[in-house]
Amino acid sequence: MIESLSADCVNEVLMKRLLQFCFAAVVLLFALANFARAQTQTAGLTSAQMNAKAKAQNVPEIPFDSAPNFLKLPPNLYLGEGIGVASNSKGHVFVYTRSQQTRLFEFDQKGNFVREIGDGLYGFLFAHAVRVDPQDNIWAVDEGTNMVIKFSPEGRVAMLLGRRQEAAEGLLATPAQNVPVPPAQPYLFNRPTDVGWDAAGNIFVTDGYGNSRVVKYDKNGRFITSAGTKGSASGQLNLPHSMATDAKGNVYVADRTNRRIQVFDNDLTFKAIYDQVGAPWALCITPGPHQYLYSSNSNPDNNNAEIAAVTGEIYKMELDGTIVGKFGNAGKQLGAFSTVHEIDCRNENELLVSEITSWRVQKLSLHPAGNGAGKSAGAR
């Protein structure tokens, strides 16, 4: 009897060990398969391409279409660099463009030209972003004048943040790289890049090429706080190039040169880093009860074909950083992207993207399947 029980125990132990061995073998084979797949995806890439390529792998493709000839400009009026694009509650589209001069245009929901806003405005010099707040006010962020300008829905200047430096002796030269940046000040910017708001109307500005920070003001433009200094540690920034806020007031900053998205709470306390989707040039968060984050790993605007070959896509993400899918690639034809600089995502599956090097805005229709991702992109 005892010998029989002992044999059963031994057999049970052996069986458990066999199962553990089999499980470990399966895990090892899975890891080896993933490693081999990763090696295949990076085979033949240069070191510069390896650095530029997004870390995320095996991301589902979201099918999409691009509407041809969406914007209809009057004769002899053309877009320059497609720097900023936004829409209001009526579906009207606002395009902030760098041409011979910086200009702000409005189109209706069908792409027909409506008007120009701010023609000859003192705060316009070198466009960087345009956004529309929940009250349909239009906000232009001008990198050249260091100003954020709020227009009423009727197109009248309603608020100014920052200040343009006088140019009595000409425009100021860009400081040399080894010259330290002057300390950031509450009400002055150094090449700002984007603007956003929370539910209370507080204003957030990414400031930007010079100051490497994000600043919070109240709805009347009074300084509250700021976060960020130049660097690569958590909470530090190196060219905060775009931003978006969610329904809870969290602030998502495109930390472009550090190739990551940083998340701050409403008081600008650091929360999280998402570093799987390449260098974020443009961010946008959808409205609605289930919000999504879009981030563009844009190809460089210097037409570097080597880097463009591994960049250019846009990622769709949950707010916690989980990647849902991606779409697009670098290129100059309809349905490809030539340096996306701003995204409008008022409708989750109907996006507007402004592009630098093709001087255009595209209207995209996404066709997600099931969980928001498809098997292949529908336009190239």
pLDDT digits (tens, 9 = 90+) for 142-192: 999 999 999 999 999 999 999 998 876 666 666 677 788 889 999 999 999
Length of the chain: 380
Distance CA 117, CA 138 (A): 10
Alpha helix segments (H runs only) across the chain: 2-42, 47-52, 305-308
Per-residue pLDDT 10s for the chain (380 aa) are 545 546 565 567 667 776 677 666 655 655 555 544 544 456 689 999 999 999 999 999 999 999 999 999 999 999 999 999 999 999 999 999 999 999 999 999 999 999 999 999 999 999 999 999 999 999 999 999 999 999 999 999 999 999 998 876 666 666 677 788 889 999 999 999 999 999 999 999 999 999 999 999 999 999 999 999 999 999 999 999 999 999 999 999 999 999 999 999 999 999 999 999 999 999 999 998 999 999 999 999 998 999 999 999 999 999 999 999 999 999 999 999 999 999 999 999 999 999 999 999 999 999 998 644 443 343 33
Query: Does 208 sit behind a cis peptide bond, omega within 30 degrees of 0 on the bond before it?
Result: yes
- Give the pLDDT confidence score for residue 43 in this predicted structure: 67
CA distances, 310 to each of 158, 244, 295, 329 (Å): 43, 25, 16, 8
For residue 285, give the H/E element and its range: strand 282-285
Handedness of CA 192, 108, 355, 76 (dihedral sign): negative
Quick one: DSSP state of residue 289? S
Provide Rg for the chain, Cα atoms.
Answer: 24
Distance CA 321, CA 244 (A): 14
* Residue 291, phi then psi, degrees to nearest 5: -95, 145
Q: Per-residue b/e over 233-244, b at no fewer than 16 CB within 10 Å?
A: eeebbbbbbbbb
Q: Per-residue b/e over 92-117, b at no fewer than 16 CB within 10 Å?
A: bbbbbbbeeebbbbbbeeeeeeeeeb
3-state secondary structure of 341: strand
pLDDT digits (tens, 9 = 90+) for 197-223: 999 999 999 999 999 999 999 999 999
- Give the pLDDT confidence score for residue 110 in this predicted structure: 97
